[in-house]
Amino acid sequence: MPGAWPSWGRLWKRFTSSGHDVPTEPLVSVIVPVHDVAEYVADCLDSVLAQDHRRLQVLVIDDGSSDSSPEIVRRYAGGDDRIVFRAQPNAGLGATRNRAVQQATGDYLFFLDSDDRLPKRAISTLVEAAERTSADVAMGPLTRFNSTRRWLPAWAAELHRAPEFHQRLTERPELLRNHYACAKLYRRSFWAGQDARFREGVAYEDQPLVTRLLLAADGIAAVSDTVYEYRDRDDQSSISQRTHTLADLQARTTAWGLARDVLADQPEPIRAAWLQTILGTHAHWYLDNDAISRPDYWQALRDGVRALDALGQPSGPLPPARELALELLRADDHAGYLELRRRGALLPDRQRVVVVGDRFWWQPQLDDPSADDPRRPLSEAQVGSRVVFDRARWTAGPALLVGGSHTVSGLDAGGLDVRHELVATGPGGSRVFAAETVPNQECSFAAVLDGEALAALAGQPGELCFSVRSHFGEAVLERALPRPAKWFAARRLGPAVHAGLVLLPDLEAARFSLSGSPVAVWADRVETTPAGVVVGVRAEGVPVTALKLGSGTTLPVVDGEALVRMPAELAGRDRVAVPVTALGADGVERPLYGQATVGLPGGRVQLRPGADGALQLVAHQRHAELQDYAFGQDRLELRIGAFLAPGWALSGVRLRSREETLAAVRAGDGRWLADISALPEGGYDLVAEFTGDKGVRVARVAATPAYLETVATSVRVGDLLWRALVAPDGGVHFDAHPEDLTRLRGQ
């Protein structure tokens, strides 16, 4: 089925047919061309050698460097036999990659530029996806970074919202947006079978080739975790940062022409998806460049764009400013384009949207305004709106609280009557839930969705989908509720059970949904007492006589209640999770479903739902939770609860990013103080250090329900806007960025 991960069957068959009893970790050939990158290559190789996938062949070829790059690489090769180093006279990036491919012996190929770097799990994430699906190509998003910040491009966030698998590119043509050689894993047998070779002696040597490979791939696995970090050099010395030169523009339009030839006989959706990228983004790297004032540069770009017209139209409408810019380019109205550019009509920060009646209009803010300034009505698809889903939790009832924001890019909503609604749709019909608008934040919303109503809409079984319907004055805009934001408490959102129906959130798909399925046994009440945790048990059909913890402790159920204490067999274990199942009077063992997360006395054992909604008992030997926090003028105050087995102590608390680590100071009564006034912008995990007889251990500080209620709030400290967030694993995360950057990312 398109979009779904296939079973392990294909993978298992491949291994068993080749004589292996158990799959082994495949060898990956990482290809790193090097040319005058002495300032960056150590950072690059450090990130490769730090990969948690250890079976690597790292092919580093120096392409005629004139600096100390070869000496740096030789030192690395001498310390790790996975690195294979070669040197050659300068031949260019394409030729160097082709030579490395010939020497590769891995099951997979991965291309890494020597000024870029990899997240720790980049290779393993792609390998797992490729092995699980038997895909020829696995791909993921890339982030960009420079000396001051790191960011995820909007196109990468949108394209790779969720893990997915497609047998052919025709099932998801939009993946052509990611048509760079990097951030992908290629099955080497597929590469060889396609006689794949990079063009040599030219720039943008990879894009026509990658387009062809994605079209030919038998299986494309896309992941949502970042798998590549692309460096924007501060000195603009990278080849891809020379868009102001005519030579770069000509190399780009040549690559467009070659890709056009590959796409000429492809179905219309494939051609349209590729054109959406080129005409919606890439062409504007040149239109927005100061060099566009030169007639030869203008003419080269015009010829390149007009040569693409034979492929048809983009897959969707373009932003109005870009649409107008392309119209002027095609009409060869160079003077008209330069005049609009001079007056600011095409600048990102000048784009304005106004509401007239029940329509949205594009009306840029111009220098020297006049009556004939450009103004266009917008179709619903052209309205650049963004829905961010950043709060969700179950409340008593049960009911689901959903919160986030719905913003229209360029619209000043302050003078409009703004209100929001949540629309839930399932087999049982649709229902509109009114949402409250957050005070002083017209575009933010919070709605409480009644669990009984959700269960009725979901059916048995069924799936509920959600959308946000926002009223900006008389104009109405409805968008699907997307996958939760990456740093978001909803990723800890478990299931809810109502009257024998479990409502299970899907947090991984591109759009948020709830599936409703009938269950035989569920916990309708879970509460802490001095003696332990009392679990109220309800069942359909056969009465429940006992609860079972894993394969060990059995607890009697009397009058519909069971008392759970700390099981002796879990004491002293580092961390363990065991299922909680129900034994019926008929002797059959059934999963027990529930929605609560509560701690047993002592705090280091929890009853909470697993990924499938069934209850688990989770025990920690070392556990720290953030119970409260507050920002001051220049400091962050933390209240942390530590729940530890005998022999362990909480010895330190730190804010930690990739580049910075700040130790908090103990202030007594579980309080810790951190002076954050000098910290640079970035993301900071909250980590705890434990000291015991077995040494020192470091672990993330976990979010508590009280903390989850405050996430996505922000406070200004100095020049930075600090936000309290939650990582996908439930750990506490603080984010510090300038206000404009935070708004731009929309996280």
Torsion of CA 509, 515, 517, 522, to 10 degrees: 90
SS3 category, 579: strand
CA 32/CA 480 separation, integer angstroms:
41
CA 507/CA 609 separation, integer angstroms:
15
Chain-wide mean pLDDT for the chain? 87
Q: The whole model's pTM is what?
A: 0.77
- Residue 148 CA, chain-centre distance (Å), reads 21
Helix (H) or strand (E) holding 424: strand 418-426
Helix (H) or strand (E) holding 668: strand 665-668
Contact criterion met (CB below 8 Å) for 536 and 484: no
From residue 457, alpha-carbon distances to 184, 275, 393, 460 in Å are 41, 40, 19, 9
Tens digit of pLDDT for each residue in 487-536? 666 556 778 887 778 888 888 788 999 998 888 898 888 888 888 889 99
User: Given this model, what pLDDT does residue 105 score?
Assistant: 96
What tokens does 525 get? 């009440």
CA 217/CA 196 separation, integer angstroms:
12
Q: Are strands 695-700 and 682-692 parallel, antiparallel or unpaired?
A: antiparallel
User: Given this model, what pLDDT does residue 489 score?
Assistant: 61
From residue 244, alpha-carbon distances to 201, 298, 690 in Å are 20, 12, 54
Contact criterion met (CB below 8 Å) for 590 and 598: no
User: Given this model, what pLDDT does residue 237 score?
Assistant: 52
User: Given this model, what pLDDT does residue 101 score?
Assistant: 97
Tens digit of pLDDT for each residue in 332-374? 999 999 999 999 999 988 999 999 999 999 999 998 888 788 8
User: Given this model, what pLDDT does residue 519 score?
Assistant: 87
If one looks up domain 622-745 in CATH, what number appears? 2.60.40
Q: At which residue do the structure tokens 């699906």 appear?
A: 133
CATH architecture label of 519-620? Sandwich (2.60)
Confidence check: pLDDT of 621 > 60:
yes
User: Given this model, what pLDDT does residue 648 score?
Assistant: 86
Preceding omega of 601 cis (within 30 degrees of 0): no
Which range among 9-18, 117-126, 600-609 has the greatest average pLDDT?
Answer: 117-126
Half-sphere exposure of 727 (CA within 13 A, CB side): 16
User: Given this model, what pLDDT does residue 108 score?
Assistant: 98
Q: Which CATH class is domain 385-517?
A: mainly beta
Contact criterion met (CB below 8 Å) for 507 and 491: yes
Tens digit of pLDDT for each residue in 415-461? 899 999 999 999 999 999 999 987 777 899 999 999 889 988 987 78
**2-11, 469-478, 533-542: lowest mean pLDDT where?**
2-11
Range 248-254 average pLDDT: 95
Preceding omega of 461 cis (within 30 degrees of 0): yes
The residue type found at 107 is D
Q: Which CATH class is domain 9-239?
A: alpha beta
Binning pLDDT at 50, 70 and 90, where does residue 738 land?
A: confident
Tens digit of pLDDT for each residue in 256-312? 999 999 999 999 999 999 999 999 999 999 999 999 999 999 999 999 999 999 999
Binning pLDDT at 50, 70 and 90, where does residue 11 land?
A: very low
Binning pLDDT at 50, 70 and 90, where does residue 747 land?
A: very low
Contact criterion met (CB below 8 Å) for 115 and 44: yes
Helix (H) or strand (E) holding 132: helix 122-133
CA 454/CA 433 separation, integer angstroms:
11
User: Given this model, what pLDDT does residue 547 score?
Assistant: 94
Give me the residue spans of the domains in the chain.
9-239, 385-517, 519-620, 622-745
Confidence check: pLDDT of 143 > 50:
yes
Range 703-716 average pLDDT: 70
User: Given this model, what pLDDT does residue 500 score?
Assistant: 78
The DSSP-derived string for 377-409 is: E--TTTS-EEEEEEEEEEETTTEEEEEEEEEET
Instruction: Say which residue, 69 or 18, is predicted with more confidence.
Output: 69
User: Given this model, what pLDDT does residue 328 score?
Assistant: 97
User: Given this model, what pLDDT does residue 570 score?
Assistant: 57
CA 734/CA 711 separation, integer angstroms:
10
CA 156/CA 289 separation, integer angstroms:
23
Give the phi and the psi of residue 704 in degrees, each rounded to 5: -100, 165
Tens digit of pLDDT for each residue in 650-702? 999 999 987 789 999 999 889 999 999 889 888 899 999 999 887 899 999 98
Q: 622-745: same fold as 519-620?
A: yes
Tens digit of pLDDT for each residue in 523-552? 888 888 888 889 999 998 889 999 998 888
